[in-house]
């Protein structure tokens, strides 16, 4: 009888230790924050976007100038949100996201995904988005968005299968 109680006690302790290692950060999905970000983008909803970004989040556009020199241009999230939400109804902005690649460790995650950006259904540019996210104990928040932007849109269509 004592042996059975010890086995039960060990099993119980192992369960407690395992559960304590399994945080909500691991149980939740960082991709949900990225989805909310784009939903807010398409709806021109500043509150929706702000709900998934940190107060000091930044955006960076990378690319190559006409002379081939690499560049990295910064924009504050505040300016980005203002430009998204104050845009007119026309032309219609649509960013089509491809299949995301997620890497996560503890309270840090990155999401890499191809995109195509359309104005009134005309392809304007494409590239890749990179989101850096932080788990604050309650939710995943975007701390940085970097993207490439090119008019040489050679992103493989297979990355966009079953994407609207």
Q: What is the DSSP string of 109-138?
A: EEEEEEEEEEETTEEEEEEEEEEEEEE-SS
> CATH number of 29-160: 3.30.70.260, 3.30.470.10, 3.10.450.50, 3.30.1330.60?
3.10.450.50
The structure's pTM equals 0.79
Facing residues of 69 across strands?
Answer: none
Radius of gyration of the chain (CA): 21
User: In this predicted structure, what is the pLDDT of residue 2?
Assistant: 53
User: In this predicted structure, what is the pLDDT of residue 4?
Assistant: 61
Q: Tell me the HSE value of 137 on the side-chain side, using a 13 A CA sphere.
A: 0
For the chain, 164 residues long, give each residue's pLDDT as a single digit of tens.
555 666 554 444 444 444 444 444 545 899 999 999 999 999 999 999 999 999 999 999 999 899 999 999 999 999 999 999 999 889 999 999 999 999 999 999 999 999 999 999 999 999 999 999 999 999 999 999 999 988 888 767 777 765 44
Contact by Cβ (8 Å): 108, 133: yes
User: In this predicted structure, what is the pLDDT of residue 152?
Assistant: 84
In the 8-state DSSP scheme, what is residue 150? Answer: B
């Amino acid at each position: 009888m004592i042996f059975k109680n010890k086995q039960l006690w060990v099993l119980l302790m192992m369960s407690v230790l395992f559960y304590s290692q399994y945080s909500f950060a691991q149980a939740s999905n960082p991709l949900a924050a990225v989805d909310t970000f784009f939903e807010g983008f398409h709806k021109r909803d500043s509150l929706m976007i702000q709900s998934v970004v940190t107060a000091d989040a930044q955006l960076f556009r990378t690319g190559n100038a006409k002379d081939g020199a690499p560049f990295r241009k910064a924009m504050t999230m505040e300016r980005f949100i203002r430009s998204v939400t104050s845009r007119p109804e026309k032309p219609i902005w649509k960013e089509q996201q491809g299949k995301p690649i997620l890497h996560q460790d503890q309270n840090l995650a990155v999401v890499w995904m191809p995109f195509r950006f359309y104005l009134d259904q005309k392809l304007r540019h494409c590239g890749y988005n990179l989101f850096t996210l932080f788990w604050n104990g309650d939710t995943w928040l975007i701390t940085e968005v970097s993207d490439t932007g090119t008019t040489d849109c050679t992103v493989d269509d297979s990355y966009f299968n079953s994407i609207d």
